[in-house]
Structure 1
Amino acid sequence: MPLTLRLILLALIAIAPVACTLPGGSPTATSSISFMVFGDAAEKAAYERLVAEFRQRHPDIDVTLIHIPGQSDYRKRLGVDFAAGTPADIVLLNYRRYAAFAAKGALEPLGPYLDQSTLLSPGDFYTEAMTPFIWKGVLMCIPQNLSSLAVYYNRDLFRAAGLPDPSPDWTWDDFLQTARTLTQDTDGDGDIDQYGLGTEVSLFRVAPFIWQNGGDLVDHPQTPTRLALDTPAAREAIQWFVDLQVKHRVTPDAVAEAAESSESRFLNGRLGMFLNSRRGVPTYRTITGFDWDVAPLPQGRQRAGILHADAFCMAQVSRQKAAAWTFIEFANSGEGQHIIATTGRTVPSLRIVAGSPAFLDPQARPANSQVFLDSIPFIRTVPIMETWVDIEDLAGEELKRAFYGQATVDQAIAAAIARAQPFFGASQ
């Protein structure tokens, strides 16, 4: 281990919480808390490491890790548990989804805890990560990460096709031409065996391209009253995104995607590029059959990325608030974020960890992790509103219809706006 990294780690480990009067009181002699997360096996292993290290530091606090593999199942479990009044003491929530719980008073505000912490300071975090978790003027959760959408690419397939690595300033046209070159019928049977691009089809995926083209998702980002997907700039970006499939055929169609997901194709070495945030890295590090790296999103009229951020949130009904805060505080300290960063799971929300070898490790893939830090100044967020999940889901259904050739872009946009409209009134 390099001397500089050893010194950083020793300094982080030497820091310990100083006793103080917390909003939730002090931990009891023996406290038991639960912590619920989602993700695949590699992500689960990352949080198991975090919990194990915490137990070494705080043997008087027992942490039960509850792992739900799928995001959909995780969201359902959250809804059921909170409705029943039996949520885990600590849950991971995305910034797009916490507002529904905050609006119902289901979350314990963590701003007062942070204000009294001697281990954490608001100024240590990227403001781009912290600001979205402020609800009605109060910080509700502590973000562990901030990532933008990025392009994961198979370097072996690029080399085989005679393509250079993507440049930092590549354009939409460059991106499309690359995807075309990588889309191939490798065995000559008339069917595409290798696609140039794979992506989730959702409003969240198309959003950065809308922003890059000068459009927006809603009419007023701070006080939205409707979707604004029908503006010329937004429509043009959506058409470009949809044309990747219906016109250029560089992504799998609905049948091919149902047969095998794009992420699976990437893992198996039969997909040139895949759009994802940083959270895919622990899984991609299991790849042994080919070389891969990460590139920034291609640029449109202006640079723009989209925030991916999860935060540690405390249930308001928790009976062990002090113990829960002790874990949240540790998880987001330099030591705690270092543990998760080395697994590849996060772009740390702590500036010092994001700039350290724990994240920018030249020996660990992706080699170009700096891409995520360079994108931070251009990150934008979706609206923070309690009904945004419903709006996003409905719009996503319509975008899929267009992407897979079941509706025109204009039909999809009109349907998305109409279906989503009732949820804007419900959030006010």
Structure 2
Amino acid sequence: MKRENEFRYSKLANILREQILSGYIKPGQFLMSENDLCRHYGISRTSVRKSLDQLMKEGLIVKKVGQGTIVSPDLVIPNTKNKVLRIFATSPSHFYEHCMPIIIEQFERENPNVEVKCLGFSSAEFWESVQASMDLGLQPDILLTTDRHFDEIGSDIDFIDLKEHLADSYEMLYPRLKTPFLRDGKLKGAIATFSPVYLAYNPQLFRKHQVPEPSELWTTEEFLQAAKRLTMDTNGDGIDDQYGLTLSSSLGRWPVIALQNGADFKATSGKAPLVKTLNLIHDLLYRYRVATLSPRSMLNSEAYVKGKAAMIMTTSIEMAGWNNVMPGFESKVASLPFGERMGTLLIANVWMIPSASNETELAVRFLQKALSPEIQEKLGKAAGFMSALRPINEKTWNKSMLQSLYMNEDITEHSYFLYELFGDFSLADDMESEMQLFWAGLESADEVADRLLAMMSDRS
């Protein structure tokens, strides 16, 4: 994993460098502490220190013993005669890291008098960072966020209607994706990339242990049999260290099982589908012991990419990140086998242009380039990202894969963005807190289902 560690610290160095050179952190100002940088960007102290060492070599920062790290007081940021297009993005983000360089390179080539500057802000405090930046006089021209951040937009920032500006690409969207980012009939967000949550598997492990690879419409029982055969003690110490599935307790993943079983997280859907879902989860974790569990704060893809789990619920965005960090890593897509209903979760990265942008015309032109068929096809082939434009996916990906992702002529009606499913993210957060004993195997499916349904009823 040497290359991945190098990638992590160079990524943080790039973010801090841009924050300094853009003027967001000014000469003489302190950077966040090493502990805060570790927490905000989800990387180790070793990676943080390597990032800071790199910036010190470049003369951008200096360390003050016992106080922290500051931007070099003598740093002079040269003025540019070019127009500057400023983009703020959530970080970490696979799309930001792997697709933005492709889009920017093409845009700057066609617009040689324009310089695109990107600032990455911690996802946990994105809107606070955007507001703080604007208070300091740094006005973003474009925002690149997640679907959840889009839903959390406050009333302090307004965004232009993109529908007319992006009419050509809007017509090519999957019909299901034409409405989620409308507000009062106005298109406030344009999808940069999206993905359903689906099941991925490691074909090398299936072949190594002579387990048949998933068929196009395999059943829950066939999935369980495969998971059992792929769970084992590989080093002879009496402890299973390879599992059929790595499962996350995050609401960004396990509700897929509920959707497939007819539970839509409304009190009206009844108790039976939810109990069936929760029992299946306990089967995987504690009755059959064929799944390893990661906490809700992480998706535990590391177990999968290191060959410690044969299957994982993931997205094309996450998978593209693996492929770009670890070229040659083999992963295939299987149909979801958890229930009879064709339902799953959706996630997206979303473009927005603030009404207060200083370069609205340039920002629109950038989004038109980013969403052009030419660039969308390039992002699919070069970086592995799905497009919201149906013709591009049909050209880039094979029909069988699109069927496994529930993306044929349209996206299945039972596929939802999290904010569509829960309406209020406080409900999702409260549900996660209520399920801690369940995930530890200390509460039955029946017990926790009663409490979750009561919470849903109270919010309805």
TM bin, normalised by shorter chain, reads 0.7 to 0.9
What does residue range 8-407 of structure 1 map to in structure 2 within 5 Å? Answer: 30-39=83-92, 44-68=97-121, 73-82=122-131, 85=134, 88-101=140-153, 104=155, 106-111=157-162, 114-117=163-166, 120-219=168-267, 231-253=271-293, 262-285=300-323, 286-287=325-326, 291-356=330-395, 359-360=396-397, 368=401, 371-372=404-405, 374=407, 376-378=410-412, 380-381=415-416, 382-384=418-420, 388-407=424-443
Task: Decide whether aligned partners of structure 1 residues 53 and 148 sit closer, same or farther in structure 2, where only a CA change above 3 A counts.
Answer: same
- CA distance in structure 2 between the partners assigned to 1:207 and 1:385 by the alignment: 10
Q: 1 CA distance for matches of 2:345 and 2:267?
A: 18
- After superposition, the Cα gap between the structure-2 partners of 1:131 and 1:122, relative to the gap in structure 1 and judged at 3 Å, is same
Q: SS state of the match for residue 405, structure 1?
A: coil
- Give the distance between the partners of 1:40 and 1:95, measured in 2 at CA: 13
The residue identity in structure 1 corresponding to 2:140 is: A
| Larger RCO (CA within 8 A; separation ≥ 6) | 1
In structure 2, distance between residues paired with 1:298 and 1:385:
21
In structure 2, how many angstroms separate the alpha carbons of the residues matched to 1:275 and 1:148? 10
1:370 Cα shift? Answer: 6.1
Higher deviation after alignment, 165-174 or 86-95: 86-95
Secondary structure of the residue aligned to 2:119 is strand
Report deviation, 1:192: 0.9
How far apart are residue 374 of structure 1 and its match? 3.7
**Structure 1 residues 84 and 94 mapped into 2: Cα distance closer, same or farther (>3 Å)?**
same
- 3-state SS of paired residue (2:254): helix
Contact 1:141 1:312 in 2 (8 A): yes
CA contact (8 A) 1:198 1:274 kept: yes
SS in structure 1 of the partner of residue 435 of structure 2: helix
CA deviation profile, 1:270-301 (whole Å, cap 9, x unmatched): 21011101112223325467643111211512
Question: CA shift at 1:372, angstroms?
Answer: 3.2
Identity of aligned residues (%): 22
Give the gaps of 5 or more residues in structure 1.
Answer: 1-27, 221-227
Range that drifts further, 331-340 or 33-42? 33-42
Say if 1:277 and 1:138 are closer, same or farther in 2 by CA, change over 3 A.
same
Per-residue deviation at 1:42? 8.0
Task: Provide closer, same or farther for how the CA distance between residues 242 and 203 of structure 1 changes in structure 2, counting only shifts above 3 A.
Answer: farther
Give the CA deviation at 1:153. Answer: 0.9
Q: 1:110·1:140 contact (CA, 8 Å) conserved in 2?
A: yes
Task: Give the Cα separation in 2 of the matches to 1:291 and 1:44.
Answer: 21
Q: Which moved more, 1:274-283 or 1:339-348?
A: 339-348
1:417 shift after superposition: 5.4
**Contact 2:259–2:343 (Cα < 8 Å) also in 1:** yes
Question: For structure 2, which runs of at least 5 residues remain unmatched after alignment?
Answer: 1-80
Residue 39 of structure 2: aligned partner? none
Amino acid at match of 2:217: D
Residues 327-348 of structure 1: CA deviation (Å, up to 9, x unaligned): 1221111123223222444210
Provide the C-alpha distance between the structure 2 equivalents of 1:352 and 1:412, rounded to a whole number of angstroms: 43
SS at match of 1:66: strand
Cα gap change, 1:164/1:34 in structure 2, threshold over 3 Å: closer, same or farther?
Answer: same
CA distance in 1, matches of 2:201, 2:293: 20
Partner amino acid, structure 1, of 2:411: P
Give the count of matched residue pairs. Answer: 372
Q: Which whole-Å CA distance do the structure 2 matches of 1:407 and 1:314 have between them? A: 46
In 1, Cα distance between equivalents of 2:227 and 2:366: 44
Distance 1:316 1:175, change over 3 A: farther
SS of residue paired to 2:222: helix
Q: Deviations over 1:232-286 (max 9, x none)?
A: 21222122123311322222246xx79x973112111221011101112223325
1:158 deviates by: 0.4
1:34–1:88 Cα contact (<8 Å) kept: yes
- Change over 3 Å in CA distance of 1:105–1:77 after alignment to 2: closer
Please state whether the residue corresponding to 1:319 is helix, strand or coil.
coil
Distance 2:329 2:384 in 1: 20
Q: CA deviation at 1:194?
A: 0.5
**Rg larger for:** 2
Q: Deviations over 1:108-146 (max 9, x none)?
A: 1434xx31457x242111122222111232221111233
Structure-1 separation of matches of 2:328 and 2:111: 41
Give the residue type in structure 2 aligned to 1:193. D
| Partner deviation per Cα, 1:2-50 (whole Å, 9 max, x = no partner) | xxxxxxxxxxxxxxxxxxxxxxxxxx98343224143457850321121
**More displaced 10-residue stretch of structure 1: 33-42 or 50-59:** 33-42
Q: TM-score, normalised by structure 2?
A: 0.71
**Per-residue Cα deviation, 1:192-222 (whole angstroms, up to 9, x for no partner):** 11011013212332323222212211247xx
Q: Is the 8 A contact 2:320 2:385 kept in 1?
A: no
Mean Cα displacement is larger for which, 292-301 or 398-407?
A: 398-407
CA separation of 1:110 and 1:238: change in aligned 2, threshold 3 A? farther
